[in-house]
Chain A
Amino acid sequence: MKKYLSYMIVALLALLPLIGLSSYTMHILILVIMWSVIGMAWNLLSGYCGQVSFGHAAFFGTGAYTAGILYSKLGLSGWWGLPASIIVVTAFALVIGYICLRLRGPFFALATLSIGVILRIVAENMVDFTGGDLGIMIRERTWVEKIWYYYIILALACGTFIVVKLVIESKLGYYFVAIREDQDAAESLGINTTLYKTIALCLSAVLTGFAGAFYMNYMGYIDPKVVFALHDISIVAIMVVMVGGVATYWGPVVGAIIMVLLAELIRSIPLLGTAHHTFFGILLIIIIIFLPNGIVGDFAKLNRIAGFARRRS
């Protein structure tokens, strides 16, 4: 039963649009799946390899701008951004990795954070190339119906899930976890830590870049403040994984469902709409103090508390 759970969920998701959901529901579903892609990518680098990144917006934005610039400068379809972003984002990740991976722990986190900010400022100032604060807009949308976007992002998510699973269950995954647990010990056992950290960073970056390129095509408009946003991209990517469960396969998916729904819910309440960061922050604080391994990671603990409460009553 448990073996087929993933196939069943994918089949269910693939059949879901056939029952005729409203455009808004489809939009939410697409966002949830997009955020689980970003979450899984972040999880690969930070959850498994232990290099906590605060700058995934850098890769998200690079992917989005690759697609956008292909469209605005070369007149190609934005969808070429998906394959093109592999090269561009990998190049960026190699440079960023060369600079940042020599740092450890919190310093790596902050270095990536500042890389995200640098890219935002560069995109704002290179007006000729990126359009500056005006951003890039794709005038003709590929499809009016959301269903094709849905299947594309679903396919991307399945691909990401498979890649993460294959990597983690291979030798590479054990190297990653060894680096996370103790980098010096891993190094002394003959693991080339720099090489494997770079591999983790590149994989994670490319997957995030895919999500970015998809975002460009789906939303049809980007500007530096949207795709290089610190709080709305980088921090949410962290929160998706922290809430769902660090270093679990399904954690990012659960986290994405909760975060996207929560964001929509809070925004729909009048007067509280501007306060959604407060709720996110408080949720983050509560999760870190009480469920440090997230909902999936601490599922046993949650179950025990629930069971205990049931027995008491």
Chain B
Amino acid sequence: MTSVQTEVLLQTLISGLLLGGLYALIGLGMTIIMGVMKIINLAHGELMMVGMYIAYVLYTLFHIDPYLSVFIVAPALFLLGVAIQKYLINPVLKVESILPENQVILTVGIGMVLANVATIIFKSDYRQTPVDYSTKAWYLRDLWKNSPIELSLSLPWSVSFVIAVLITVSLWFFLTRTDTGKSIRATAQDHDAALLMGVNVDRMRVITFGLGSSLVGAAGCLFIPIYYIYPDIGGQFTLIAFVITILGGLGSTVGAIIGGLVLGIFESLTATYIGMGWAPVGRFMIFVAVLIFLPGGVASLLKAKRFR
């Protein structure tokens, strides 16, 4: 391998890692919702789209930096998620019907409404938030004068990655150290046992949905400086989130993080070596391969290690 080829490969791997960090954040939101509620939230990407548009409006009207708007978007999306769970999903849980998948179809309906309302308000134009650092980059040779290879990394990608890691770490602390977090995990593990131990399961459901929404909203803010937005952007991110959860193992948080990173790196490799248009196909090739060869996802590998 010549040094140029090595550079390209390293560059691809690192940008895949950065993308994977953001993917992990999206996947985490879906995973905790799936763990606690046992339903797939098909409006997940649309919630991210809402977060992105809030950040976009905040920037264009008040010139709030997208990274700062995380602090506004996350609570806003939390409230939206709580409202959806309380007034739409909870009533459906009580309704008797032939198909048990009604809740999933309901989230599709919610997603359709959100995407369409966004189309009406913002038109279906592609928009970009013109932050001035969006094209800035930093170079490895600036930091390490005589490095054998040269790498350049986009600045907003790196910042987004660092913030995503920070959010993930604080989520981990929330889930393992606080009372509410522990109750959420208990509900995810065994709904009835948690109820018997005095956990307010209904409230945990509402909080979880809000938490998942705010996570994906935050991810939306982090995507703003590096990505363009349009109202139908949600669908593709819903699919990404779903692929990550299958890859990571259903309802497993660690699995979702690993799954996000793997997916990011794999997508970046397909984009470099096969072609941009095929990157989404690579995503689904992973998905199909995991279903066939590793149905439990990464989580099952982790578990197998632990018991040995």
Establish whether residues A230 and B235, one from each chain, have CB atoms under 8 Å apart when the complex forms.
yes
CA distance A111 to B287 in the complex (A): 9
Stretch at the interface among B94-102, B138-146, B179-187: B94-102
Q: Is A261 in contact with chain B by the CB < 8 A criterion?
A: no
Asked if B116 and A121 sit within 8 Å, CB to CB, the answer is: no
A105 to B117, Cβ gap below 8 A? no
Residue in A closest to B97 when the chains form the complex, CB atoms? A292
Of A102, A110, A238, A297, the residue contacting B242 (CB under 8 A) is: A110
Do B281 and A50 touch (CB < 8 A)? no
Q: Does B13 contact A (CB under 8 A)?
A: no
Q: For the complex, what is the distance from the CA of A148 to the CA of B193, rounded to whole Å?
A: 63
Instruction: Decide if the interface of chain A is mainly helix, strand, loop or mixed.
Output: helix
B91 touches which one: A114, A275, A289 (CB < 8 A)?
A289
Cα separation A292 to B93 with both chains bound (whole Å): 11
In the complex, whether B120 has a CB less than 8 A from a CB of chain A is: yes
> In the complex, are the beta carbons of B108 and A277 less than 8 A apart?
no
Known A114-B243, A114-B287, A275-B116; contact A121-B280, beta-carbon cutoff 8 A: yes
Contact A282 B113 (CB under 8 A): yes
Interface size class of A (residues with CB under 8 A): 35 or more
Q: Which residue of B lies closest to A234 (CB)?
A: B108
Name B109's contact: one of A50, A102, A110, A284 (CB within 8 Å).
A284
Partner of B98, one of A121, A247, A277: A247
* A109 vs B111: C-alpha distance when bound (angstroms): 16
Q: A277-B112, A281-B112 are in contact. Are A109 and B284 (CB under 8 A)?
A: no
Would you call A297 and B98 a contact (CB within 8 A)?
yes
Report which of A105, A118, A124 forms a contact with B100, defined as CB distance below 8 A: A105
Q: Given the complex, which residues of A lie within 8 Å of B117, measured CB to CB?
A: 278
Q: Which residues of the partner chain A approach B235 to less than 8 Å between Cβ atoms? A: 230
B291 at the interface (CB under 8 A from A): yes
Q: Are B112 and A280 in contact (CB under 8 A)?
A: yes
Which A residue sits closest to B34, measured CB to CB?
A106
Q: Which residues of B contact A (CB under 8 A)?
A: 39-40, 42, 88, 91-92, 95-102, 104-106, 108-113, 115-117, 119-120, 235, 239, 242-243, 246, 250, 275, 277-278, 280-281, 284, 287-288, 291-292, 295
